[in-house]
Every structure is written in structure tokens, then in C-alpha cells.
Copies of this chain bind each other. A is one copy, B any other.
Amino acid sequence: MTAATKTIQGNFFEDFHLGETIRHAVPRTVTEGDTALYTSLYGSRFPLNASDAAAREMGYAAAPLDDVLTFHIVFGKTVPDISLNAIANLGYACGIFHQPVYPGDTLSTESEVIGLKQNSNGKTGTVYVRSTGRNQRGETVLSYVRWVMVRKRLPHSAAPERHIPNLPEAVAVADLAPPRDVSYARYDTGLTAQPYLFEDFEPGERIDHVDGMTIEESEHQMATRLFHNTARVHFNQFYEKDGRFGRRIVYGGHIISIARSLMFNGLGNAIAVLAINGGKHTNPSFAGDTIFAWSEIVSKHDLPGRTDAGALRVRTVATKDRPCGDFPDRGEDGKYDPSVVLDLDVTLLMPRRAG
């Protein structure tokens, strides 16, 4: 038995099989400690996650975890199996938050391989997985699809049958899972000191979130470790000094969390994430970058059977070292402004004005 055989080296493209299910290590109990760290790392101020009192007023058992924190914890577990040998995290789709996660819940993740496509160079391939996060009762709290480009172990190994899953552009409104047994009918805008509710936003409206946040090396490392994400590019300067960028790359989810936190200024009452419709990390980020963000209201939707809240589909673009007052974006040629690091498409829950 050689030394290497007992350690995890990650899967290569050939190791994935269409339809297989991968149970990921390690289940993790989330706590108020995680919430405190999340606040400390991102400064998130959405009142549903900040205040037990406010959450209970709406009918929640307590302040649930920030949805994006739940995403990171569910996602982190997939890294050792799915993306340790990934070259690129290509996209997300079909992300649905099925129910609130509370401190004390234990989360675990399982992934199903739903697509495979070898690239024409024969050296890499794209793997599509649907990952499902469950709590200690086995209830699904989050499911999402992600696809990554993964190295092949051997360039000459046979290509698997090509299968590209059919992914919707956005989660259908009928598939959203707004929390049951809670009500936003008496939602108090004084919680955020922002008066704007569902009725006040219109498709096409753009919001510059104004503030910026500079990333430090230890912050993204602490965040990424908190999520049990083991991708070496985030932690190992000894290797990265000789890598493509000469430095550690910030976990893409770190940028999502900063963007979500910046979003508070202008969308403060969009207190929960219902869906991640899509997302692209258009450029890498590094320690020292200052992240800004802007959002566009894509569309507005009634939530079936609910008069207390609606769904806002929002596209949020994050940049580095570039304020967003003029909404830096993709040009007509389809190319992103070089400052853009994230193009995220989410559906947010926002209370309606009391009738």
C-alpha cells in the first residue's frame, strides 16, 4: 500500500458516470457561531437573519441562516468530490431554497451526475451535477445544478457518451418554495429603515448599491474554511505563487456573499433568496480587490397563494475596483467589462405593502 492511496486526490473527468449519486463528506451542524462569523466576514444586515425577534414576529422559529451561507455550506461539501481537479466553475442553475435552515440543524450534501461532455481537446470535460443539501431530518433545504470543467486523468481515455442536461433559464415561479407557516403581512420596514417593498420595483429598474468592500487574504480563507471548501487555490500560496495568477484565488462564493451583502443598500427588504437562477464568475478576484455591485430588476411575480409577498427576479453584477454608478456590464459584443467578476441571477422574496 503506497502513501498516496489513502488520501483524497479528487475525481477526474473519467471518474464521473451519468446517473451516479455521490454522498459527500462531512455533515455539519450550523450554529449561531456560523451566523456571527458570516456577519463578521460580510457585514450582512438582512433583519430576518440578524434578529430572532424580527424572525419570530414573522412566524419563523428563530432567525434562520442567511440563505447564501446555507448555499456555501451545502456547496463546500461537494468540492472534494466534484471540483478538486476543476479548471473552471462554469455555471449554476436551478437553485431552489426549499426551507429555512436554523442554528442546530445538521446539513449534508449528495450530488447526482446529470450531464457529461468531453471537450474537443480531449484533455478536459464538463461535468453537470445536481447537488442536494438536506437537514438532519432528511428534508431537502437546497438543491442546485452546477457544471464545472474537470481535467481528464489520461488524455487518451475514452470519452463518455455526451449528455447535456436541459436547464431552464430560470427557476419557474411554480417551483419556488417560499417559507410556509410564516407571514410577511405585518412586515415592518422600520427594521431596515428602507420603505421600498414589492410594489415599488419595476422590471428594468437598476440600482447602484453604492458601497464597496475590500477583500483581505485571511477573510476569504476563513470564509472558505468555514464552508468546509477544500479547493487548494484558495489556501496554498506556496503552489499559487507559481500558478496562473501568482496568488491565491478568492472562492467565487465569497464574491456572491459580498454582493448579497452590498445589495442591502437598495434592496434591504428583499429578505430571503428563493432561487439562484444562474451565475457566472466572469473574472477571478484576489485579496486587495474592492468589490462593488449593482442590480437590475428582471421581472416581478406573484407567489401562488400568497398575498403577503412577491418574487423579484434580480440580476446582480459585481465588479472589482470599479464603482457601479454607471452599471458596468456586458457589451453588445457579449464581452463583459473587464471589471465585472460576477453575473448572478437570483429570485428574491420581498414583502408586499399591507393591503
Contacts and interface: CB of A to CB of B under 8 A. Distances in A.
Interface of A: 1, 3-4, 6-9, 23-29, 31-37, 39-43, 45-47, 50-54, 63, 80-81, 103-104, 106, 136, 190-194, 196, 200, 202, 205-214, 216-219, 221-226, 228, 230, 232, 235-239, 248, 265-268, 288, 290, 292, 294, 321, 323, 325, 327
Nearest to A295: B3
A212 B193 contact: no
B223 A221 contact: no
Contacts of A28: 50-51
Given A33-B36, A221-B216, A193 B25 contact: yes
A232 B206 contact: no
B31 A35 contact: yes
Contacts of A196: 6
Contact of A191 (B25, B34, B51): B25
A312 to B, nearest CB: 13
B26 A51 contact: yes
B194 A212 contact: no
Given A33-B36, A106-B53, A212-B232, A191 B26 contact: yes
Given A3-B206, A42-B225, A43-B230, 5 more contacts: A27-B54, A40-B223, A40-B226, A52-B106, A214-B237
A235 B207 contact: no
B136 A23 contact: no
Contacts of A24: 193
Contacts of A54: 27, 106
Query: What are the 4 closest A-B residue pairs judged by CB atoms, nearest first?
Result: A33-B36, A43-B225, A238-B290, A216-B218
Residue among A53, A207, A226 with most chain B CB within 10 A: A53
Given A7-B207, A43-B225, A191-B27, A51 B237 contact: no
A194 B104 contact: no
Contacts of A193: 8, 23-26, 80-81
B34 A53 contact: no
17 contacts: A7-B208, A7-B265, A24-B193, A25-B191, A27-B51, A27-B53, A27-B54, A29-B63, A31-B36, A36-B37, A37-B40, A39-B226, A211-B230, A212-B238, A216-B218, A218-B219, A239-B290
A235 B221 contact: no
B266 A7 contact: yes
Nearest to A195: B6
Contacts of A190: 23, 25
A298 to B, nearest CB: 15
A236 to B, nearest CB: 4
A3 B196 CA distance: 13
Contact of A207 (B6, B31, B63): B6
Contact of A3 (B27, B207, B221, B288): B207
B191 A213 contact: no
Contacts of A214: 217, 221, 235-238, 248
Nearest to A4: B208
B8 A265 contact: yes
A78 to B, nearest CB: 11
A219 B237 CA distance: 15
